[in-house]
Structure 1
Amino acid sequence: MKNIYLIRHCEAEGQPFETKLTENGIKQAIELENFFVDKQVERIISSPYKRAVQSIQPLAERLNLEIELDNRLTERVLSPKNFPDWYEKLQDTFEDLDLKFEGGESSHEAMNRIVEVIEEVVRGTPDNVVIVTHGNLMSLLLKHLHQDFGFDDWKKLSNPDVYLLKYRNYQTTFERIWK
């Protein structure tokens, strides 16, 4: 059986690549480390965004594990343009997975990136892996696994958030395990 702990990063100061965690986000990263103290984590893969790496750094240090950076785990780009109605546009992309705005990627395209990472982890070793990513990408993976996971579920995600994906005998289940 494979256990994949899918983590949304802790509270951050903003959206750009180099954005750091807030003071509260740094405390959350320590809470995250403590949350995993009784779990057997053998590998950590993260988005290269600073807020994602900072979220898992305390756990990586405690376990003496390298954080493997994977560009396929970066946040989904809705568009490089700043839309005043981005929230509605994002909602539309949950209803039409092929909808794509200028310079951005569709939900299907973003979903395919994270699904690739998950499939590689499932085929490989070890059996207990942490993956750190961003809210939209995380929700698209969960939608891939369960068609009914949608925009309203994305809105309910917290920073941080943790889902446990279990792969056993070609069957996948997931559950939210963060408090």
Structure 2
Amino acid sequence: MTHVYFIRHAEPNYKNHDDQTRELTEKGMKDRVLVTDYLKDKMIDVVLSSPYKRAVDTVKDFADKYNLHIKSVHDFRERKIDSIWIEDFQTFSRRQWADFNYKYSDGEALNEVQKRNISALNAVLIEYQNKNIVVGSHGTALSTIINYYDSSFGYDDFERIKSLMPWVVKFTFKNTDCIGIDKINLFDDKS
């Protein structure tokens, strides 16, 4: 069995509108320790991440503590919305979930995000078969992966996890067949 732990990044600084360099807030930097605590006994073999700073920084505390190199995988990046900042994200997002091919002229449709993330994941499953893998990820990218294996996961589910950062989704695979999805709220047992 191959276990892939997708880690949705901790709280980012939304004042930084540059998607690639957006860093974690002070709270996000503290909350990433929840990821380290959760992963400590999972016998992780490899740590991969979207190249975006907030995703890398969320798994960095764990990787540093266990002396694991973080390998950047460009196709695990978040969806590109447009070349400008979108103020009404909720309306845009609802429209994209209703139509997986909807996008702004300079952005990506959820269908495109899903295809590139699944392609990257399939390559990882072949390269690291029967390993325990961590992937630093993003809310929309991760949601499209869940939707690929469980089509009932849609906009309402995405809305429910929108403020859940960090968030862990464990996928279990036999070869490249997904045989289980577990969603882990790291804040459930925290005060």
5+ residue gaps, structure 2, are 187-191
Check 1:13–1:44 CA distance in 2 against 1; reply closer, same or farther (3 A cut): same
Aligned to 1:101: 104
Identity of aligned residues (%): 27
Which stretch shifts more, 166-175 or 129-138?
A: 166-175
Aligned to 2:52: 49
- Give distance in 1, aligned partners of 2:156 and 2:112: 20
Matched, 1:125 2:132: no
Residues 145 and 172, structure 1, Cα contact 8 Å, conserved in 2 = no
- Give distance in 1, aligned partners of 2:155 and 2:68: 34
Stretches (4+) displaced over 6 A: none
Q: Which amino acid in 1 is paired with 2:154?
A: G
Matched, 1:163 2:169: yes
Task: Quote the RMSD (CA, aligned, Å).
Answer: 1.5
- Give distance in 2, aligned partners of 1:171 and 1:69: 23
- Could you say what secondary structure the match of 1:90 adopts? helix
Deviation track 1:65-93 (CA, whole Å, cap 9, x = no partner) reads 11001111111012223444331121111
Matched length: 179
- Normalised to the residue count of structure 1, the TM-score between the two structures is 0.94
- Normalised to the residue count of structure 2, the TM-score between the two structures is 0.88
Matched, 1:178 2:185: yes
5+ residue gaps, structure 1, are none
Q: Which amino acid in 1 is paired with 2:92?
A: K
Matched, 1:31 2:34: yes
- Give distance in 2, aligned partners of 1:58 and 1:82: 29
Check 1:171–1:135 CA distance in 2 against 1; reply closer, same or farther (3 A cut): closer
Which stretch shifts more, 114-123 or 73-82?
A: 73-82
- Give distance in 2, aligned partners of 1:100 and 1:22: 29
- Could you say what secondary structure the match of 1:114 adopts? helix
- Could you say what secondary structure the match of 1:132 adopts? strand
